[in-house]
Amino acid sequence: MALEFRDILLRQDDFTLTADLTVPAGRHAVIGASGSGKSTLLALVAGFLAPTQGRLLWEGQDITAMPPGKRPVSILFQHNNLFPHLSVKQNIGMGLRPDLRLNRAQQARVAQVLDQVGLSCLGARRPDALSGGQQSRVALARVLLRARPLLLLDEPFAALGPALKAEMLALLAQIAADTTVLMVTHDPADARAFAPDTLLVEGGRVHPPRPTGPLLDDPPPGLRAYLG
C-alpha cells in the first residue's frame, strides 16, 4: 500500500514543492514550519493541485492525472464540513450516496459506523446540537464509511482540547488500522502519539519518512526553531 512520489515538482507562483520518496503503509505525521508546504503536499495527493513535473503512484499505479473523486483517498480537515441541515445519520450516509437513497444494507453500514464511533444514540440530531468532539466523531464515521485506503488529515482535531484530541487520535488509530495515513500537525505530541514515522517538510522539500521519536528528540535546526 505504498505511495510513491517520483521526482515531483509543483510550482505555485514563487513557491516550489519537491518530493522524491516512498511512503510505506502505516501512519505518518507531516511536520514543518508554517508555509513550508504541508497543505500543498496533501492537495497534491488529493488531486486538487497537479504537479508541474514527476509522477505520483499508488500501489504501483500512476494516479498523477486521476481526478480527485476517483482517487483512493479520503480527507479529514480541521473543519469537518458537516451539513447543518442534515441529521448525523444523513451526514454519514452522504459518504455512501450523495442523494441519500440508501438501501437496507447501506443503512446497516451507517448504523454500524455510528456505533463504532460511539454515537448510536445521536443519529437523529443535527450537527449544531452536538459538542465539538461529537462532531469530530461524525466526520470520522464518514471517513470510515468511505473506506478508502489512503487517509489525509490536516490538523483534524486542532479545535479540540488536549484530552479530547488524544481520545480522537486513539480512536482514529484504531479504526484506520489498515489505512495509510498522512496527518499534518503542528503539535509534536500528536505526532509522537499517533505516527511511528514522520515526513519533514522544509522550505518546500519533502523529506522521506523517519522514525518520529528520534526526529523530534534531535530535530534539524529549522524544525528546532519552529518547535521552540
Ligand X SMILES: Nc1ncnc2c1ncn2[C@@H]1O[C@H](COP(=O)(O)OP(=O)(O)OP(=O)(O)O)[C@@H](O)[C@H]1O
Query: Does 48 engage in binding with ligand X (CB under 6 A)?
Result: no
Q: 139 or 184: whose CB is closer to ligand X?
A: 184
**The only residue of 5, 29, 40, 195 in contact with ligand X, by rule CB under 6 A:** 40
Annotate 19-40 with DSSP letters as a single string. Answer: EEEEE-SSEEEEE--TTSSHHH
Under rule CB under 6 A, residue 37 binds ligand X: yes
Q: Taking CB under 6 A as the rule, does residue 36 contact ligand X?
A: yes
Min dist CB 47 to ligand X, Å, is: 15
- Residue at grid coordinates 484504531: 174
Distance in Å, CB of 160 to ligand X, minimum? 18
- Decide if residue 34 touches ligand X (CB under 6 A): yes
Q: What phi and psi, each to the nearest 5 degrees, are found at residue 198? A: -135, 140
Q: Is 78 in the site for ligand X (CB under 6 A)?
A: no
Nearer to ligand X, 15 or 83 (CB): 15
Q: Which residues fall within 8 angstroms of residue 9, CB to CB, at 6 or more apart?
A: 16, 17, 18, 51, 52, 53, 54
Q: Are strands 150-154 and 197-202 parallel, antiparallel or unpaired?
A: unpaired
In the bound state with ligand X, the residue whose beta carbon lies nearer, of 34 and 174, is 34
Q: How many residues belong to the chain?
A: 228
Among 2, 7, 12, 214, binds ligand X (CB under 6 A): 12
Q: With binding defined as CB under 6 A, does residue 174 bind ligand X?
A: no
Within 10 Å of residue 219's Cβ, how many Cβ atoms?
A: 16
Smallest distance, ligand X to C-beta of residue 40, A = 3
**CB count, 10 Å around CB of 130?**
17
Total residues contacting ligand X by CB under 6 A comes to: 11
**Nearest approach, Cβ of 41 to ligand X (angstroms)?**
7
Determine if 198 is a binding residue for ligand X (CB under 6 A).
Answer: no
Cα 162 to Cα 74, 77, 148, 186, 190: the distances in Å are 24, 18, 28, 13, 10
Told to check if 228 binds ligand X by CB under 6 A, we report: no
Q: Which long-range contacts (CB under 8 A, 24 or more apart) does 160-167 make?
A: 160/132, 160/133, 160/136, 164/132, 164/133, 164/136, 165/190, 166/193, 167/133
Q: How far is the CB of 196 from ligand X (least distance, A)?
A: 22
CB of 186 to ligand X, least distance (A): 7
Site of interaction with ligand X (CB under 6 A): 12-13, 15, 32, 34-40
